[in-house]
Chains A and B, each alone.
Chain A
Amino acid sequence: MAGSNYQPKSKLGQWIEYRLPIFSLIDGLFGSYPTPKNLNYWWSFGSLAGIALVVQIITGIVLAMHYTPDTSLAFASTEHIMRNVNYGWLMRYVHANGASMFFIIVYVHIFRGLYYGSYKSPREILWMLGVVILLLMMATAFMGYVLPWGQMSFWGATVITNLFGAVPVVGDSIVAWLWGGFSVDNATLHRFFSLHYLLPFVIVGVVIMHIWALHQHGSNNPLGIDVKGPQDTVPFTPYYTAKDLYGFAVFFLVFAYFVFYNPNFLGHPDNYIPANPLVTPAHIVPEWYYLPFYAILRAITFDIGIPGTDIVFITAKFAGVILMFASILILLVLPWLDTSKVRSAKFRPIYKQLYWLLVIDVFVLGYVGAKPPEGILPTVGLIATAYYFIHFLVIMPILGKKEKPLPLPESIANPVVKSAE
């Protein structure tokens, strides 16, 4: 971590610091850590994600004290938490809505990175660790949603685990292995609980590396130019501690609105019906934060093979699965797909427009994911999916070469545009 020369004032502090340099570590993290002085509020979402993770872990541990991961008791134990455990309803509503808040924050955090080019050199590994966090979060939230063992828990788990059945040859074995049996059942619920408890701590580990990588070169900033010297930065404390704390308060206001006044708005009513393997819900919809990916999953409605013959290379289902995973994994190589040297979209007039087009595209995908695949929606989903990949695979590499960026400012402290060179 960025070395800090901090020395504790008290004798005891110095005694400890000499043996375990924890005070200088903390100072390096949140104290004197030099931070660009021009960060806007979009930069608050990183520490917000951190606080959201902590909230999930604390409420989750309390819930686990009262929850029973057995198909015959899971639903009832969740209701027990809601009705009989002191402030159990608070813990559960905070945890359930906290997952949604966490995703909103992380999506904003990612799109902040896309806009300001935070994924570019020298922050590639930082960005890739972020993508790993996103994948881990998705797995964690998916398994968490199964735990209350309502209708959507059961059928969501069934639909998603069945996807792996599309893998050629070994698909069915993978699915049986995931289930621990021949359907989503008790063994599945038990292992999902076990993993749902484990993965957040894995996320903590990756977040530590994420922040470690961040501190190697420091934060990017809205201008996307490098820090030139101390005149460009301020110490993290008090400047960004004050700013982030204000951000926390606003975030908790929004969060509290959902928890106290609309706690089931982001959930699905069917999950208050106990799981029933014999009754399939009319529409199986995933949680809102998976909707764009769900649309990509369903985008391919035709087998891919040699036209006019029965030869199929890739079934429609498998193609959907590949695309869905690819849509996230593609972010891993984004630093190399984007060939522009300029980080911030502020100085990339065309990229700026295309960035917003991508945002709209993702919302369109979300809309398609939420609706039953009827009428023109499958076509819309296919086009939006194609555009998503075109953006990353075609536009980003070409645009970086063709686009003429605006002149960059001289420095953060002196944001005047350099005279034409």
Chain B
Amino acid sequence: MKKILLAVFASLMMVGAVSSVQAASDAEHPKDLSWGFEGFTGTYDRGALQRGFQIYKEVCSACHGVKYIAFRNLMEIGFSEEEAKAIAAEYIVAGDLDEYGDPTERAGKLFDYIPSPFPNDIAARAGNNGALPPDLSLMIKARPNGADYVYSLLTGYEDGHEVAAGMSYNSYFAGSEIAMGQPLFDDQVLYADGTEASLEQMSQDVVVFLAWAAEPTLEARHKAGFKVISFLLVLTILLYFSNKKVWAGIKAKKKED
């Protein structure tokens, strides 16, 4: 028992060391929110997902792509096929070559991926004072405590600090100077479902959308996990008792002599 405790203690120490490395930087620790997709039964709130997509589309998509998301994927967050088709049709994408071998354009279809705002990184930098707005598809998984971090970033802008030209002050960003101006303000969008568009609400919603974009299989994973773990628990109990039974004779004999 002592050994096991020691091993557990040591492993915790190790885990602590590793996670503190990941957090180590001069930036302020993100606010700690509780998200509906956390925990064993976590799911994405459908309302928040759709509102979050609206924020992405109306605000963030001016500068950021979500290149791993196709229009068909929008049906997974509660849009009907018709709605997803209509959203796709708002975009112009590259079509097949025409009969002369020249490039063509057409309206987006379900199987197309959501086009990024800039054709390449150079163009993206040129449009943003030399800074590169990263693709947001995996942002939540690409930062420690990603959901809390992006929420804190979006709600963490402060005036009254000295910063270089074109930069903004945000203590949650490493170095506290970020090349992205505050993107969200109260009442910036009009939510279709009547939710009040406060800065906090919008930030939460877009984070839920981005969390889904980063890990669209989370709900399937949680469901499968429940089945697998339930099965394994039963199996473990069965195997525990069959092992006991198999060894019963040996153990008894040991006691005799």
Does B163 sit within 8 A of A, measured CB to CB? no
Does A82 sit within 8 A of B, measured CB to CB? yes
From A250, A260, A264, A360, residue with most partner B Cβ within 10 Å: A260
Known: A285-B21, A371-B21. A246 touches B240 (CB 8 A): yes
Contact among A249, A272, A356, A414 for B6, CB-based, below 8 A: A356
Chain B residues whose C-beta falls within 8 Å of the C-beta of A82 in the assembled complex: 217
Of the stretches B28-36, B43-51, B55-63, B136-144, the one at the interface is B136-144
Does A363 sit within 8 A of B, measured CB to CB? yes
Does B228 sit within 8 A of A, measured CB to CB? yes
Known: A82-B217, A253-B236, A256-B232. A370 touches B142 (CB 8 A): no
Chain A residues whose C-beta falls within 8 Å of the C-beta of B146 in the assembled complex: 269
Distance of A260 Cα from B233 Cα, bound (Å): 15
Chain B residues whose C-beta falls within 8 Å of the C-beta of A360 in the assembled complex: 10
State whether A260 touches B224 (Cβ < 8 A).
yes
Of the stretches A236-244, A319-327, A335-343, A400-408, the one at the interface is A236-244
Q: Kindly provide the distance from the CB of A352 to the nearest chain B CB, expressed in whole angstroms.
A: 10
Chain A residues whose C-beta falls within 8 Å of the C-beta of B217 in the assembled complex: 82-83, 89
Q: Kindly provide the distance from the CB of B128 to the nearest chain A CB, expressed in whole angstroms.
A: 16
Does A70 sit within 8 A of B, measured CB to CB? no
Q: Kindly provide the distance from the CB of B28 to the nearest chain A CB, expressed in whole angstroms.
A: 16
Interface size class of B (residues with CB under 8 A): 35 or more
Q: Kindly provide the distance from the CB of A108 to the nearest chain B CB, expressed in whole angstroms.
A: 9
Chain A residues whose C-beta falls within 8 Å of the C-beta of B236 in the assembled complex: 246, 249-250, 253
Q: Kindly provide the distance from the CB of A18 to the nearest chain B CB, expressed in whole angstroms.
A: 32
Distance of A239 Cα from B222 Cα, bound (Å): 36
Chain A residues whose C-beta falls within 8 Å of the C-beta of B165 in the assembled complex: none
Does B122 sit within 8 A of A, measured CB to CB? no
Does B190 sit within 8 A of A, measured CB to CB? no
B149 (CB) vs chain A CBs: closest residue:
A269
| Interface of chain A residues 350 through 369 with chain B (CB within 8 A) | 356, 359-360, 363, 366-367
Chain B residues whose C-beta falls within 8 Å of the C-beta of A273 in the assembled complex: 134, 138, 142
Q: Is the interface of B mostly helix, strand, loop or mixed?
A: helix
Q: Kindly provide the distance from the CB of A185 to the nearest chain B CB, expressed in whole angstroms.
A: 19
State whether B142 touches A272 (Cβ < 8 A).
yes
Chain B residues whose C-beta falls within 8 Å of the C-beta of A371 in the assembled complex: 17, 20-21
State whether B174 touches A282 (Cβ < 8 A).
yes
B239 (CB) vs chain A CBs: closest residue:
A246
State whether B225 touches A242 (Cβ < 8 A).
no
Does A90 sit within 8 A of B, measured CB to CB? yes
Does B216 sit within 8 A of A, measured CB to CB? yes
Q: Kindly provide the distance from the CB of B99 to the nearest chain A CB, expressed in whole angstroms.
A: 30
Distance of A360 Cα from B6 Cα, bound (Å): 9
Q: Kindly provide the distance from the CB of A303 to the nearest chain B CB, expressed in whole angstroms.
A: 27
Distance of A249 Cα from B239 Cα, bound (Å): 8
Number of A-B contacts (CB under 8 A): 115
Distance of A249 Cα from B236 Cα, bound (Å): 5
Q: Kindly provide the distance from the CB of B241 to the nearest chain A CB, expressed in whole angstroms.
A: 9
Known: A246-B236, A250-B236, A367-B13. A264 touches B141 (CB 8 A): yes
Chain A residues whose C-beta falls within 8 Å of the C-beta of B216 in the assembled complex: 83
Distance of A363 Cα from B232 Cα, bound (Å): 31
Q: Kindly provide the distance from the CB of B253 to the nearest chain A CB, expressed in whole angstroms.
A: 9
Q: Kindly provide the distance from the CB of A412 to the nearest chain B CB, expressed in whole angstroms.
A: 10
Chain B residues whose C-beta falls within 8 Å of the C-beta of A256 in the assembled complex: 225, 228-229, 232
Q: Kindly provide the distance from the CB of A77 to the nearest chain B CB, expressed in whole angstroms.
A: 12
Does B125 sit within 8 A of A, measured CB to CB? no
State whether A260 touches B250 (Cβ < 8 A).
no
Q: Kindly provide the distance from the CB of B36 to the nearest chain A CB, expressed in whole angstroms.
A: 15
Does B104 sit within 8 A of A, measured CB to CB? no
State whether A367 touches B14 (Cβ < 8 A).
yes
Distance of A82 Cα from B216 Cα, bound (Å): 9
State whether B240 touches A269 (Cβ < 8 A).
no
State whether A263 touches B247 (Cβ < 8 A).
no
Chain B residues whose C-beta falls within 8 Å of the C-beta of A283 in the assembled complex: 21, 24
Known: A83-B216, A256-B225, A370-B21. A249 touches B247 (CB 8 A): no
State whether B18 touches A260 (Cβ < 8 A).
no
B145 (CB) vs chain A CBs: closest residue:
A269
Distance of A371 Cα from B85 Cα, bound (Å): 50
Known: A238-B246, A256-B229. A89 touches B221 (CB 8 A): yes
Chain A residues whose C-beta falls within 8 Å of the C-beta of B228 in the assembled complex: 256, 260
Does A124 sit within 8 A of B, measured CB to CB? no
Distance of A139 Cα from B244 Cα, bound (Å): 40
Chain B residues whose C-beta falls within 8 Å of the C-beta of A248 in the assembled complex: 239
Does A79 sit within 8 A of B, measured CB to CB? yes
State whether B250 touches A239 (Cβ < 8 A).
yes
Chain A residues whose C-beta falls within 8 Å of the C-beta of B40 in the assembled complex: 261
Chain A residues whose C-beta falls within 8 Å of the C-beta of B17 in the assembled complex: 366-367, 370-371
Q: Kindly provide the distance from the CB of A270 to the nearest chain B CB, expressed in whole angstroms.
A: 7
Does B22 sit within 8 A of A, measured CB to CB? yes
Does A288 sit within 8 A of B, measured CB to CB? yes
Does A1 sit within 8 A of B, measured CB to CB? no
Interface flags, A87-124, vs B, CB<8A=1, else 0: 00110010000000000000000000000000000000
Show 29 A/B contacts (Cβ-Cβ < 8 Å), sorted by A. A79-B68, A83-B217, A89-B221, A90-B224, A93-B221, A238-B246, A243-B243, A243-B246, A246-B239, A249-B240, A253-B233, A253-B236, A259-B225, A261-B225, A268-B22, A269-B146, A270-B142, A282-B24, A282-B25, A282-B174, A283-B24, A285-B18, A291-B18, A359-B6, A360-B10, A363-B10, A367-B14, A367-B17, A370-B14
Can you list the 10 inter-chain pairs with the closest CB atoms, starting with the nearest?
A: A260-B225, A272-B142, A249-B236, A370-B17, A242-B246, A246-B239, A242-B243, A363-B10, A367-B17, A272-B141
**Chain B contacts to A: CB under 8 angstroms:** 3, 6-7, 10, 13-14, 17-18, 20-22, 24-25, 40, 68, 134, 137-138, 141-144, 146, 174, 214, 216-217, 220-222, 224-225, 228-229, 232-233, 235-236, 239-240, 242-243, 246-247, 250, 257
Further pairs besides A270-B142, A282-B25, A356-B3: 8, Cβ < 8 Å: A93-B221, A249-B239, A252-B232, A269-B22, A269-B142, A272-B138, A283-B24, A366-B14
